[in-house]
Amino acid sequence: MPFLLALDQGTTSSRAIVFDELGVARGAAQAEFEQVFPAPGLVEHDPEAIWESQYAVACEALESAGVAAGELAGIGITNQRETTVLWDRATGTPLHNAIVWQDRRTSAKCDQLRADGHADLIRESTGLELDPYFSATKLAWLLDNVPGARARAAAGELAFGTVDSWLLWRLTGRHATDPSNASRTMLYNLHSNAWDDELLALFDIPRDLLPQILPTSHNFGNTDADLFGTAVPVRSLVGDQQSALFGQLCVRPGTAKTTYGTGCFLLANTGAEVVASQNGLLTTVAWQVGDTVSYALEGAVFVGGAAVQWLRDGLGIIDASPDVEELAASVDHSDGVCFVPALAGLGAPHWDPHARGAIFGLTRGSTAAHIARATLEGIAYQVADVLDAMETDRGAPIETLHVDGGAASNDLLLQFQAELLQADVVRPVQLETTALGAAYLAGLDAGIWQTVEELTSTRTEDRRFSATLTASEVAAMRAGWADAVERTRS
């Protein structure tokens, strides 16, 4: 039986899962790594910690599954996107900590570019909003602030990559990426499916820094034999949210999913059509299989599960993130408490990097349980705002939302989500759909599955949540939320 090893490199932890040819997880491992906060609004990772944690859990997952590296048909890599790494081509040594997607240090640069009239060009070429979320301004910051970096980049001595490229380099020595990750850099043209020379000039980024763009499902080369005892082909690279869309088998236009992770990310498949959003959403590459490029609309909520982590680490009202459900369920409602978790600004559809989180409606009767419940509700409200914008852009409703990620195990959250959407919310048996998507894409390249359609028979449903409140009740709740969001804006 062939096996696939999925490497799922996330914002707060690295995971690895071994899947069999039925898409069933046979072994897994996970390890958190340090988050670096040099100053308010700044978020960094040590690239070596990313690599070391990912390699360690890969070995541990193989051992857990009882699978030898020689039994692997391939490796699939899925990763936190936009996070920016710059390293020395000769030694592989990073020049600086990775600048994480959540980092806001380039907000002023984005404001200046917007004032200079570049936002429309960026949106039309890349499908993205001009925001510090994406890689281009992060990379420009590194070139301008790391001593000697710009001169070395011009001399061809340095390499840039998002986390997929960094891991591929460490595994194989190859400098490449795929369209799903490239389309998140603000340097990739959706229409030509290539790096954009006009944008490279705008951000003053040498083309030689950039990785080669290859299809998402593709043989990217073999790992160094010393790593796993034998050379193993890397057969997919895919951004984590697109990977979750594929793992949920949302392969037809109009199908949609949201991932409840550190942030929340809602994607809707638009097939071969590049849909330009009029409502603050992003247009992105979903994946490329063979010569066929598929696209998606995306709405990004910057703080989802991170809000629960803040309850744990910042306020200390829970000991572990899963405890939030029991605490929130200990009260019947939030008693007027509303939490807008704009702890890293607001993403879609507002795109306000200067917004800040706020808790409204506190009284002497407010308790930790009310705040916990308001936190889960705040996550669901943000997702509902994105879905509204997505339906408007598509001109059609999304009748079912597929969900995954760590917080998708929270029944209270998913029931409230169904109420707000007035639509069914479906949770799969396999919640680790991000890793599963990378495995599916690797398996397609390996020939385990011959077509995308063949994969749909592996889908399994755990539970379906349906709305019980009336539309008028929900409308009143959402009006209160909209007022609270407005009060957090810059």
Q: Are 234 and 77 in contact (CB under 8 A)?
A: yes
Any domain includes 78: yes
CATH of the domain at 55: 3.30.420.40
> Of the candidates 261, 313, 286, which has an alpha carbon nearest to the alpha carbon of residue 15?
261
Largest CA distance in the chain: 64
Confidence grade of residue 454 (pLDDT, cut at 50, 70, 90): confident
pLDDT for the residue numbered 23: 87
> Of the candidates 343, 337, 377, 344, which has an alpha carbon nearest to the alpha carbon of residue 359?
337
Higher-confidence position of 344 and 156: 156
* Pair of tokens at residue 101: 């997607």
Higher-confidence position of 254 and 474: 474
pLDDT for the residue numbered 194: 96
Confidence grade of residue 406 (pLDDT, cut at 50, 70, 90): confident
User: For the residues 229-255, what does the mean pLDDT come to?
Assistant: 93
pLDDT for the residue numbered 367: 94
Full domain range(s) for residue 26: 3-238
Burial string for 78-99 (b: 16+ CB within 10 Å, else e) reads bbbbbbbbbbeeeeeebbbbbb
pLDDT for the residue numbered 162: 97
Number of domains in the chain: 1
Rounded to 5°, angle at Cα 166 from 163 and 170: 140
pLDDT for the residue numbered 236: 98
Any domain includes 462: no
User: How much of the chain, in percent, has pLDDT values that exceed 90?
Assistant: 74
Q: Are 435 and 78 in contact (CB under 8 A)?
A: yes
Query: Residue 1 pLDDT more than 80?
Result: no
The backbone region for 127, taken as left when phi is positive above 0, alpha when psi lies in -120 to 50, beta otherwise, is: left
Any domain includes 440: no
Confidence grade of residue 279 (pLDDT, cut at 50, 70, 90): confident
pLDDT for the residue numbered 179: 98
* Pair of tokens at residue 68: 């030898």
Confidence grade of residue 142 (pLDDT, cut at 50, 70, 90): very high
CB atoms within 10 A of CB 2: 14
Query: Residue 475 pLDDT more than 90?
Result: yes
Q: Are 287 and 238 in contact (CB under 8 A)?
A: yes
Residue whose pair of structure tokens reads 């029991």 in the numeric block: 326
Q: Are 104 and 41 in contact (CB under 8 A)?
A: yes
Confidence grade of residue 63 (pLDDT, cut at 50, 70, 90): very high
Any domain includes 169: yes
pLDDT for the residue numbered 263: 83
Kindly report, residue by residue over 29-54, the tens digit of the pLDDT: 999 999 999 998 899 999 999 999 99
Query: Residue 490 pLDDT more than 80?
Result: no
Any domain includes 322: no
Listed in sequence order, the residues at least 6 apart from 168 whose beta carbon sits closer than 8 Å to its beta carbon are: 77, 161, 174, 175, 176, 177, 220, 221, 234, 237
Any domain includes 21: yes
Kindly report, residue by residue over 171-222, the tens digit of the pLDDT: 999 999 999 999 999 999 999 999 999 999 999 999 999 999 999 999 999 9
Any domain includes 223: yes
Listed in sequence order, the residues at least 6 apart from 416 whose beta carbon sits closer than 8 Å to its beta carbon are: 376, 377, 380
SS (H, E, C) the chain: CCEEEEEEECCCEEEEEEECCCCCEEEEEEEECCCECCCCCCCEECHHHHHHHHHHHHHHHHHHHCCCHHHEEEEEEEECCCCEEEEECCCCCECCCEECCCCCCCHHHHHHHHHCCCHHHHHHHHCCCCCCCCHHHHHHHHHHHCCCHHHHHHCCCEEEECHHHHHHHHHHCCCEECHHHHCCCCCEECCCCEECHHHHHHHCCCHHHCCEECCCECCCCECCHHHHCCCCEEEEEEEHHHHHHHHCCCCCCCCEEEEECCCEEEEEEEECCCCCCCCCCEEEEEEEECCEEEEEEEEEECCCHHHHHHHHHHHCCCCCCCHHHHHHHCCCCCCCCEEECCECEECCCCCECCCCCEEECCCCCCCHHHHHHHHHHHHHHHHHHHHHHHHHHHCCCCCEEEEECHHHHCHHHHHHHHHHHCCEEEEECCCCHHHHHHHHHHHHHHCCCCCHHHHHHHCCEEEEECCCCCHHHHHHHHHHHHHHHHHHCC
pLDDT for the residue numbered 443: 96
Kindly report, residue by residue over 96-116, the tens digit of the pLDDT: 999 999 899 999 999 999 999
Kindly report, residue by residue over 363-403, the tens digit of the pLDDT: 999 999 999 999 999 999 999 999 998 888 888 888 789 99
- Mean pLDDT (the chain) is 93
Q: Are 30 and 9 in contact (CB under 8 A)?
A: no
Any domain includes 127: yes
pLDDT for the residue numbered 305: 86
pLDDT for the residue numbered 41: 87
Kindly report, residue by residue over 438-450, the tens digit of the pLDDT: 999 999 999 999 8
Confidence grade of residue 166 (pLDDT, cut at 50, 70, 90): very high
User: For the residues 144-161, what does the mean pLDDT come to?
Assistant: 96
Q: Are 289 and 441 in contact (CB under 8 A)?
A: yes
Residue 265 CA to residue 256 CA, distance in Å, equals 10
Listed in sequence order, the residues at least 6 apart from 29 whose beta carbon sits closer than 8 Å to its beta carbon are: 15, 16, 56, 57, 58, 60, 61, 64
